[in-house]
Homo-oligomer: A and B are copies of this chain.
Amino acid sequence: MSAIKEDYIKVMFELGGKSRTVGNKAVAERLDIAPPTVTEMMHSLVSAGWVEYTKYKGAILTDSGTKYAKHIIRKHRLWEVFLVEKLGFPIDEVHKEAELLEHVTGDKVAEKLEAYLDSPRFCPHGGAIRFDEMDRQEAELIALDEVPVGSTVKISRIVDEEKLLSFFKNQQCDIGDVIIIKDIDTQIGLMTTFNMTKNQELQLSISLSKYLFVEYN
């Protein structure tokens, strides 16, 4: 399995999990690759047994594809913990490095790394490391742009992308913070919230709020 194919199924997992069908366009955009290349690769992923594919419709991960994707994401997140906690990297710089390391990490290395890090449950921006916890997050966490006005929610995960991480860091908006949604203005596309943890107001573009996953009861 090449690093590139691993990237494809990882993106598919992030985009649709094992439940929703993912269009080629979305995959192409995420990987910054031309659409015909995705069509081509899908056939190869079907042969490998990682996805099911319907012409003109899109693809969905098989069970083994889903499992494989989770294994890679686990390795990614373990490295992020290592880079932040042991090597002292700032949280918004580790994604790119983990992106490379994840593809060359044997299972034994991952296991020993996990033990060495004291079996962390989450990566630095809140992504689950254990499979059951990944499932729980998938089921329970909701994107901030789907939460109604008035709710109190806990920020649990920030989508792992360098620019986003540095943006939210600059906004003093961190994993674990509890915020109240005061107002949502769909007209101008702005959400106004109050960060209880930091005791300060936080205004956020709605288009960016979908990258924040929150716990909402």
Contacts and interface: CB of A to CB of B under 8 A. Distances in A.
Contact of A88 (B86, B96, B97, B112): B112
A159 B162 CA distance: 40
Interface residues of A, number: 18
A44 to B, nearest CB: 21
Contacts of A89: 108-109, 112
A35 to B, nearest CB: 25
A10 to B, nearest CB: 16
> What is the copy number of this chain in the assembly?
2
A87 B113 CA distance: 6
Nearest to A3: B104
Interface of A: 83, 86-89, 96-97, 100-101, 103-106, 108-109, 112-113, 116
A106 B112 contact: no
A112 B88 CA distance: 8
Nearest to A109: B97
Nearest to A89: B112
Contact of A104 (B101, B108, B109): B101
Nearest to A102: B104
A109 B83 contact: yes
22 contacts: A83-B109, A86-B116, A87-B109, A87-B112, A87-B113, A87-B116, A88-B112, A88-B116, A89-B108, A89-B109, A89-B112, A96-B106, A97-B106, A97-B109, A100-B104, A100-B105, A100-B106, A101-B101, A101-B104, A101-B105, A103-B104, A104-B104
